[in-house]
Amino acid sequence: MPFNFIKRRKILKNSNYLDLTPFKLFGEEVTEDGFVNILIPKFTNPLAVKFLTPRLKSPDIKIKLDEIGSAVWMELDGKTKVGIITKKMESKFGEKIAPVNERLTTFLTQLYMQKYISFKELVEKN
């Protein structure tokens, strides 16, 4: 069971962002041009899924990411720390992503605030 808001905030406030380990909460699809679409289910209620989803054109909402966002998303495996991801992105994109630490932490914060990702350090050990 995840920590409550106060405990999560305390953990995030006291830790270095580069030492956190992000993981995805949703699946993705990769388009032909190599970009990623995050797939968020339109319904989570079992009855809505059973009766409404078959009538829909697509059961998911697609969040389209750009080239850098797609590369970062593909690195979120739940094992790699943010610091390692920043080094990989810096070597892959060079000056295009500078300043890498600020851009990556801002992007991951946005993904976390939208509840597309979480961090291993915020999940209680059972």
pLDDT single digits (tens) 72-96:
999 999 899 999 999 999 999 888 8
Domain assignment present for residue 91? The answer is yes
φ, ψ of residue 103 to 5 degrees: the values are -65, -45
Domain assignment present for residue 125? The answer is no
Domain assignment present for residue 8? The answer is no
CA distance 39 to 28: 5
Choose between 31 and 59: higher pLDDT. 31
- Token representation of residue 20: 């956190």
Domain assignment present for residue 13? The answer is no
Domain assignment present for residue 1? The answer is no
**What confidence score (pLDDT) does residue 3 get?**
67
**pTM for this entry:** 0.82
Domain assignment present for residue 10? The answer is no
Q: Which domain holds residue 76?
A: 23-119
Is the pLDDT reported for residue 1 higher than 50?
Answer: no
**What confidence score (pLDDT) does residue 124 get?**
60
Domain assignment present for residue 16? The answer is no
φ, ψ of residue 95 to 5 degrees: the values are -70, -20
The whole-chain average pLDDT of the chain stands at: 85
Least confident of 14-23, 54-63, 92-101, 111-120: 54-63
CATH code assigned at 93: 1.10.10
Could you report the per-residue pLDDT of 42-72, keeping only the tens digit for each?
877 888 777 777 777 778 889 999 999 999 9
Domain assignment present for residue 56? The answer is yes
Least confident of 12-21, 29-38, 62-71: 12-21
**What confidence score (pLDDT) does residue 15 get?**
75
φ, ψ of residue 100 to 5 degrees: the values are -65, -45
Alpha helices in the chain (DSSP H): 5-14, 46-51, 67-75, 82-93, 100-113
Number of separate domains in the chain? 1
